[in-house]
């Protein structure tokens, strides 16, 4: 894939409609988010109680202002003044302490909900089929786990409490304002419905903007993951494409920057207007109340203390109203991210266990393998755009007895690797059945299949950790002696022992601190430690030096001993040692038999042998 294609390609699994209006689906999404708080019901109730208490405490001081002016100062009552002022000192302290505790508990709940979303999403991805991972970029998945879930953090940790806190503040403040002056209250709240309508429109735009921004961020994350990996950077450097890739990255980064500016500026003019209006409203109150006092000085409907208390309550009212309007916009933006998260969580798990699956113990597994009229086609979303028609295998039947070595030979793309995927149940057959020891693998538990099959692939993957941890990945409870014995069987122990840190040596990203042969032997040692009954080999020795190749061939011999082995054969030695050779072409087994039988037939195998292996046999004899 060229650098430009890296920026063009999008996953067929990641399609979110950025223009869907608010509706039933949004309500369902919000209910689903709310259900994530159920495990923390007791803590949520405590937080809500603390919010209500702090809201009521917050009303005391504004109301005290009226009595300070009218009853204490107005009537020259020093004792009453001291009492009211003392109360105004104490209540904010109490409210502040409760608010700190509420904020702490609120953040604890929010972070636990975020953790649950991350864990659920990661666990769900672990259960997805291989088809999903071949169709979806790693960076796209990482973006959903980090960027999308991180993007909803503010909504999860703050929004629920913000809504409850502000609603309770607004309602209690309106009641207090009505108590002081119903007329002034009506004037103050007259334009709020208009603001609510405009806010819903701004929310639509914010949601669409958020979706575009997250998609751009996912593309950028995917690019970074691919071009900054060891394999990617080696390809870029060896082809001298650093400047080109940097230019492409800069272009995508510029798009993201523009989208983020747009995202931040959505609704700013609207909220500026709201803020201006809220600042002007007190002046209107002073004008209306002042005119009434001037024209009716003997019987005004509101006192000077009442005016001061009302405007104080008014300032307390407008901030939470503004917060509620902003929360609606933020929720609209967050819905786009929740949609992306739930889109992944709702993907069906294609490879799953049946109810009451069969569990086999290691002693019960013999390794008898039967493919019974198996057909399988890769689905369309498995293929990249403009590629050829879906491929697979058709009407495959063969039998490998326990302990036998079966070699798969055939042209590239003929379906050899697909057969190993079906045996491991990385994919499910479309028709027919794959049986192990007489059991359809779809009736076996996944843990039984994972336990019985070991893989040595063309590209040996190692985690960027110690040699010890890479080996123990196959058997975490293995003893030191078992691990060393496996390494010796794979002819890699002496090399490990020669390293300064031995088994505690860090292997580097994808094991790049080790040679190809060392990585392969470590992979073989890992499978030996697992001790599976069925072995799948995709021998990648042709690119190694002669010494490494001989070491790996020698380490494979004890690995295959007393195990049923299905090998995609690249080496003549494997083919000659095979009990049965299966020649695969265009997704079908066109012939099977031993080396001599197939040479006598003069079919596909004889052709491949003469083209690829005959000169090796001559060299071996000489």
Same domain for 437 and 301: no
Given 283, 310, 345, which residue is the final one in a domain? 345
Q: Which residue has the tokens 């099959």?
A: 453
Is 331 within the bounds of a domain?
yes
With DSSP H G I counted as helix, E B as strand and the rest as coil, what are the percentages for the chain, rounded to 5? 65, 10, 25
Whether 550 is in a domain gets the answer: yes
Residues 537 and 595 in one domain: yes
Cα dihedral 454→456→460→463 (10° resolution): 10
| 3-state SS assignment for residue 458 | coil
Retrieve residue 597's tokens: 């039988």
pLDDT for res 347: 86
Q: Would you call 603 helix, strand, or coil by DSSP?
A: coil
Residues 445 and 539 in one domain: yes
Any domain includes 27: no
Structure tokens given for 132: 């999903």
Domain with 292 in it: 34-345
Residues 6+ apart with CB under 8 A from 72: 78, 80, 81, 84
Return d(Cα 226, Cα 232) in angstroms, integer: 6
Please tell me whether residues 163 and 265 are part of one structural domain: yes
The dihedral over CA atoms of 15, 18, 20, 26, expressed in degrees to the nearest 10, equals 80
Q: In what order do the strands lie in the sheet with 439-440?
A: 392-400, 369-377, 431-436, 439-440
pLDDT at 429: 92
Domain count for the chain, please give it: 2
Domain assignment present for residue 511? The answer is no
What is the Cα–Cα distance from 598 to 546, expressed in whole angstroms? 29
Q: What averages of pLDDT result for each successive group of 10 residues across the chain (622 residues)?
A: 35 39 67 86 89 85 78 81 86 88 86 87 84 77 78 72 80 82 78 65 67 77 71 63 78 82 68 68 75 68 75 74 70 77 86 87 89 87 39 90 90 88 91 93 90 81 84 87 87 87 84 79 86 81 58 70 83 79 91 90 86 57 46
Question: What's residue 14's pLDDT?
Answer: 38
CB 480 within 8 A of CB 520: no
pLDDT of res. 183:
80
Take residue 573 and report the two structure tokens written for it: 């030695």
Q: Are residues 188 and 219 both part of a single domain?
A: yes
Can you give the pLDDT at residue 257? 84
Specify the pLDDT at position 376.
93
Q: Are 313 and 173 in contact (CB under 8 A)?
A: yes
Report if residue 350 sits inside a domain: no
Pick the last residue of a domain from 345, 380, 399. 345
pLDDT of 400 reads 93
**192 and 332 fall within a common domain:** yes
Q: Say which residue the tokens 């569990």 belong to.
A: 359
Q: Give the integer Cα–Cα distance in Å for 591 and 600.
A: 12
Same structural domain, 340 and 395:
no
pLDDT at residue number 378: 85
* Domain co-membership, 337 together with 370: no
One-character DSSP codes across 361-430: -GGG----EEEEEEEEE--GGGSPTT--S--EEEEEEEEE-TT-EEEEE-STTSSHHHHHHHHTTSS--S
The residues, any chain, with a CB within 8 Å of residue 517's CB and separated by 6 or more, are 544, 545, 547, 548, 549, 551, 552
Domain at 553, CATH number: 3.40.50.300
Q: In this structure, are 221 and 252 located in the same domain?
A: yes
- Decide if 28 is inside a domain: no
Q: β-pairing, 588-593 with 580-585?
A: antiparallel
> What is the model's pLDDT at position 230?
57
Asked if 415 and 540 sit in the same domain, the reply is yes
Q: Which CATH number does the domain housing residue 87 bear?
A: 1.20.1560.10
Which residues face 491 on adjacent strands? none
> How far apart, in whole angstroms, are the C-alpha atoms of residue 563 and residue 440?
20
Domain boundary residue, one of 345, 375, 409: 345
Task: Give, in order, the Cα–Cα distances in Å from 275 to each of 268, 272, 318.
Answer: 10, 5, 9
| Residue 252, number of CB atoms within 10 A of its CB | 19
* Residues paired with residue 439 on neighbouring β-strands, in sequence order: 436
The rounded distance, in Å, linking the Cα atoms of 74 and 54 is 30
Please list the residues that pair with 583 across neighbouring strands. Answer: 409, 591
Both 404 and 334 in a single domain?
no
Give the largest Cα separation in the chain, rounded: 127
Query: What number of helices (H) and strands (E) belong to the chain?
Result: 26, 10
Domain contains 598: yes
Enumerate long-range contacts of 252-259, CB under 8 Å, 24 or more apart. Answer: 252/7, 252/216, 252/219, 252/220, 252/223, 253/220, 255/216, 256/213, 256/216, 256/217, 256/220, 259/209, 259/212, 259/213, 259/216
Do 380 and 340 lie in a common domain?
Answer: no
Beta carbons of 568 and 542 less than 8 angstroms apart? no
Residue 233 inside a domain? The answer is: yes
């Amino acid at each position: 894939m060229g650098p430009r294609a890296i920026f063009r390609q999008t996953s067929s699994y990641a399609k979110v409609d950025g223009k869907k209006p608010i509706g039933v689906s949004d309500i369902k999404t919000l209910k689903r988010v709310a259900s994530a708080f159920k495990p923390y019901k007791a803590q949520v109730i405590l937080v809500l109680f603390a919010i209500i208490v702090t809201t009521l405490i917050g009303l005391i001081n504004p109301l005290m202002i009226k009595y300070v002016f009218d009853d204490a100062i107005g009537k020259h009552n020093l004792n009453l003044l001291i009492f009211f002022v003392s109360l105004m000192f104490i209540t904010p302290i109490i409210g502040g302490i409760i608010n700190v505790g509420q904020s702490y508990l609120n953040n604890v709940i929010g972070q636990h909900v975020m953790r649950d979303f991350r864990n659920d999403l990661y666990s769900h991805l672990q259960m997805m089929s291989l088809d999903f991972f071949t169709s979806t970029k790693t960076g796209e998945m990482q973006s959903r786990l980090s960027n999308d879930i991180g993007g909803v953090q503010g909504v999860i940790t703050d929004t629920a409490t913000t809504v409850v806190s502000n609603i309770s503040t607004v309602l209690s403040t309106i009641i207090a304002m009505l108590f002081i002056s119903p007329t002034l209250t009506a004037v103050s709240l007259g334009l709020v419905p208009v603001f609510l309508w405009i806010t819903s429109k701004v929310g639509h735009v914010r949601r669409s903007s958020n979706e575009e921004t997250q998609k751009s961020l996912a593309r950028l994350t995917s690019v970074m993951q691919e071009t900054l990996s060891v394999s990617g950077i080696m390809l870029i450097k060896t082809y001298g494409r650093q400047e080109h890739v940097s230019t492409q990255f800069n272009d995508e980064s510029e798009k993201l920057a523009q989208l983020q500016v747009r995202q931040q500026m959505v609704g700013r003019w609207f909220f500026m207007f709201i803020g201006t209006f809220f600042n002007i409203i007190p002046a209107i109150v002073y004008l209306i109340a002042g005119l009434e006092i001037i024209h009716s000085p003997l019987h005004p409907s509101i006192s000077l203390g009442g005016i001061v208390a009302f405007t104080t309550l008014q300032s307390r009212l407008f901030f939470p109203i503004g917060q509620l309007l902003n929360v609606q916009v933020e929720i609209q933006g967050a819905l786009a991210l929740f949609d992306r998260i739930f889109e992944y969580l709702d993907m069906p798990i294609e490879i799953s266990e049946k109810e009451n699956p069969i569990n086999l113990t290691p002693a019960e597994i013999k390794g008898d393998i039967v493919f019974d009229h198996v057909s399988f086609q890769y689905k369309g979303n498995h293929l990249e755009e403009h590629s050829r028609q879906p491929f697979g295998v058709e009407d495959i039947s063969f039998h490998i007895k326990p302990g036998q070595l079966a070699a798969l030979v055939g042209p590239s793309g003929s379906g050899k690797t697909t057969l190993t995927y079906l045996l491991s149940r990385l994919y499910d057959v479309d028709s027919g059945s794959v049986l192990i020891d007489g059991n359809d693998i779809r009736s076996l538990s996944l843990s039984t299949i994972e336990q019985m099959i070991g893989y040595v692939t063309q590209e040996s993957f190692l985690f960027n950790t110690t040699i010890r941890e890479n080996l123990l990945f196959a058997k975490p409870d293995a003893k030191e002696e078992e691990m060393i014995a496996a390494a010796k069987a794979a002819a890699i122990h002496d090399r490990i022992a020669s390293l300064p840190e031995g088994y505690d040596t860090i292997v580097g990203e994808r094991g790049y601190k080790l040679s190809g042969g060392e990585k392969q032997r470590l992979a073989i040692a890992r499978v030996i430690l697992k001790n599976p009954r069925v072995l799948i080999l995709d021998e990648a020795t042709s690119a190694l030096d002669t010494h490494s190749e001989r070491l790996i061939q020698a380490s494979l011999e004890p690995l295959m001993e007393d195990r049923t082995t299905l090998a995609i054969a690249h080496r003549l030695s494997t083919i000659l040692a095979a009990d049965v050779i299966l020649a695969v072409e265009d997704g079908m087994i066109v012939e099977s038999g031993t080396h001599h039988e197939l040479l006598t037939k003069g079919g596909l195998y004889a052709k491949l042998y003469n083209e690829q292996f005959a000169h090796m046999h001559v060299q071996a004899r000489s």
